[in-house]
Amino acid sequence: MTALVGIIMGSTSDWETMRFAAETLEQLGVPHSVEVVSAHRTPDKLFHYAESAHSKGLEVIIAGAGGAAHLPGMTAAKTTLPVLGVPIQSKALNGMDSLLSIVQMPAGIPVGTLAIGKAGAINAALLATAIISNKHQQYRAALENFRATQTENVLAHADPRDE
């Protein structure tokens, strides 16, 4: 099935975070692709990826990067598809560098920035699914089901001392 959401990341070291985006899309049944694309180490590949994303059928791109995290912004500069940025929790600055690099885009080229780390990766997948659901209604039911299950789980474990 043609991927609707493309997940990219700056390094294989980002996978331990970005796998949560992939797993969430998997859980929701959303067709997606995963690829390492570095703004710094493979800039030509990044340009090609972003320029061809729409024609390949992608509708949203999730880009995770850490440190001087240019990947989401540069991707957004080369495509009008929505780009969701996930700041990786870097070792040196705990992800603040990643967050500020991604979130502070100058006016004109937007990147929808999520939280640092795992929460951001999961929420990027949920937001991407909400975006594609405007056109592909079948994924909205998966999102509603996800939320209903989440609510049930919280209600079922109201006492934090229980396992």
Q: Does 62 sit near ligand RP5 (CB under 6 A)?
A: no
148 CB burial (10 A radius; 0-12, 13-18, 19+): exposed
Question: Can you tell me which of 63, 88, 114, 124 binds ligand RP5, judged by CB under 6 A?
Answer: 88
Smallest separation, CB 67 to ligand RP5 (Å):
5
How far apart (Å, rounded) are the C-alpha atoms in residues 96 and 50?
Answer: 25
Nearer to ligand RP5, 4 or 65 (CB): 65
Q: Contact between 40 and ligand RP5 (CB under 6 A)?
A: yes
Number of Cβ within 10 Å of residue 80's Cβ equals 10
Q: Which run of H or of E encompasses 129? A: helix 118-133
Q: Is 41 annotated as a binding residue?
A: yes
Nearer residue to ligand RP5 within complex by CB, 14 or 59: 14
The DSSP secondary-structure symbol of 109 reads: S
- CB distance 117 to 95 below 8 Å: yes
Q: Is 134 in the site for ligand RP5 (CB under 6 A)?
A: no
- 29: which 2 tokens? 């049944």
Structure tokens at 119: 């929460």
- Among 13, 104, 134, 151, which residue sits at the site for ligand RP5 (rule: CB under 6 A)? 13
Least distance (Å) between residue 24 CB and ligand RP5 = 19
Task: Return residues touching ligand RP5 (CB under 6 A).
Answer: 9-11, 13-14, 38, 40, 65-67, 88
